[in-house]
Amino acid sequence: MGKRTSHLWRELRRRRVVTTAAGYAATAFVLLQLAEIIFPAFGVGEGGLRVLLAVLLAGFPLTVALSWVFDVTRSGVRVTPPAEGEGDARVPAPRPLVLGSVLLMAAGLAWGGWWVVRAANPADATPEGIRSIAVLPFKDLSEAGDQTYLGDGLAEEILNRLAGVDSLQVAARTSSFAFRDRNQDVRDIGRQLNVAAVLEGSLRRSGNHVRITAQLIDARTGFHLWSQDFDREVDNLFAVQDTVAGAIVRELTGHLALPGRAARRPVPPAAQEAYWQARAQLSRRDASVIPQAISLFQQAVSIDPDYAAAYAGLADSYALMPVLMQSMAPGEALAQAEQWARKAIELDSTLADPWASLGLVHALHQDRVEALDAFARALRLNPSYAPALHWRANVLADMGQLVPARRDAEKAARLDPLSASVATDHAAILFWSGDVEAAGVEVERALDRDFSYRPAIFLDALLALEQERELPLRMSLAQWAVLCGLPSDAVPHLAEAMLAYRRTGEAASPPPELRGLEPRPGVLSSGTLAALYALVGDREQMITWLRRAVEDGSWAEEYLAVNPIYEPFRGDPEFREIVAELG
């Protein structure tokens, strides 16, 4: 055995197999080190490194085998001669064998190269590649920590450019910006935002120098697909934001095979910061924060009178007032909303936000044709603009077109998955469509986002009533009553009356406490009081409160044409008169 091993070792050395193997290993190591440095510059992530390693490992046994059989001499490639005394002298290598070996190696390299390119551009490799992305706020790593507005503006500019691409879904800014300052795994973020890729970055400013780092990450695997640093001198902050955003988008669109989009005008930092604070407030869809949001939007436009997005924010705020607050006459609020929307369009007609705001104004004026046209224009400019899809879904539902409404609501929920209001309206449309189980799932999602969101809690109670689940009905009503100021003693009586009316069809006696209630701006609306009376079969009180709802604008939250609460009253002449009055 020992002699055989010794003979084999001598033969390996004689045929230069050991030298070849050592050289191959050294070369492979150097290639891997170089690839680790060079690949990111060409957009090749960790997947490319893994593929290169696999190709090098696969090539090792082939190289060793060829080294055993062949020898490279000045006269060319020859079959290695047998050891002395074991046969004839060197014989020219059979050409078919040499040719076959070369072709085999070429095929292996071609296969490896194809996989490297495929790893570098997964979106181009398969139809199931990257077709959805979230842009997170860029982290401010500056010592002073005073460059947040620059990181937000950079992310916003990139998001706006990417959002104009039909084949790419971009997560809504309200959802993606919710991850500001969170140290969370990218894969978790991808799951929560329903995206295949996440763009994140950071910036560090020192004096007049700023370094911006951007990286694209596959949210399904957590692997980096592309990253790059940008070093700039800050003579003009807005020029830096614009040029770096443009460079990043060019890299991304080239990587994802998508077209780019023109840059927007620069905005002063103070105006931008006020705008983002206002948007964060408005996204809560809470009446208590609307005045603060309006104040911040006004602050933004006072700093920059040509800030189109801030005027669109004012339009959104005033349009939502009649629904959420009832503290201003609907006509006055909607007139201001339309004024600011048209001002924003005048300043920048390519911005989707004001077109969607104008659509909401038209919808609340019952001009549904004009509303749908404005929403369509917004979505042509930004196919991923979740508010336009959300509001259009509600208009379509109000018109009784539940199939397209459900389609829009589902897409809005995918694009803005962290919005309690979007999830709740999606749940309502599912409920009106008869899909109670799916509606329950969406309500749970809304309450996960905001456990005190009153519309979601009330809808949860309606779903429990639909399924005649008394305990969940009582629990949801009790929670809702606390938030709306309804006496807790009235909840058991109210739940019993609702269940009795549902089971028998005979009007039940509402709790006495209900008759003493009056609307409270942002807490309890006339429309909701009408719904409560409808749920116990009190037709007279329902009609009374519906007429009040028409006066104060809160009818808009009732969706009289499709809401099953009002099904028993569809043939009632006064109910039909109210519906006809609302168009």
List pLDDT tens digits, range 290-333.
Answer: 888 899 999 999 999 999 989 999 998 888 776 666 555 667 88
Write down the domain spans for the chain.
2-120, 132-266, 452-583
What residues pair up with 231 in beta bridges, in sequence order?
A: 211
Residue 127 pLDDT > 80: no
The pLDDT of 160-177, averaged and rounded, is: 79
pLDDT in the model for residue 95: 45
Residues of the chain with pLDDT > 70: what percent? 73
Alpha-carbon gap, residue 510 to 500, rounded angstroms: 11
Mean predicted confidence (pLDDT) in 108-124: 47
Mean pLDDT of 187-207: 87
Q: Write out the two tokens for 123.
A: 């979106």
Note the pLDDT of residue 12.
62
CB 180 within 8 A of CB 189: no
| CA 402 – CA 383 distance, rounded (Å) | 21
For residue 1, pLDDT beyond 70: no
Q: Mean pLDDT lowest for which of 493-507, 516-530, 555-569?
A: 516-530
Query: Looking at residues 347-363, what average pLDDT do you find?
Result: 90
Classified as helix, coil or strand, 164 is coil
pLDDT of residue 536: 93
Q: For 212-243, how does the pLDDT look when each residue is reduced to its tens digit (9 = 90+)? A: 888 888 888 888 877 888 787 766 555 666 66
Look at 43-47, 220-224, 241-245, 380-384 and tell me which has the smallest mean pLDDT: 43-47
Residue 329: predicted pLDDT: 63
- Give the predicted TM-score (pTM) of the model: 0.69
CATH 3.40.50.10610 fits 132-266, yes or no: yes
Span 235-269, pLDDT tens digits: 655 566 666 666 666 666 665 544 444 455 677 87
Token pair of 209 as six digits: 């120098």
Overall average pLDDT of the 100-108 stretch: 51
Average pLDDT over residues 454-476: 94
The beta strands (E) that lie in 98-196 are given as 132-135, 139-140, 169-170
- What single-letter DSSP state applies at residue 561? T
Question: Which residue bears the tokens 């990111």?
Answer: 40
Report the range out of 69-73, 552-556, 559-563 with the highest average pLDDT: 559-563
Residue 537 has pLDDT above 70, yes or no: yes
**Mean pLDDT over the full length of the chain:** 79
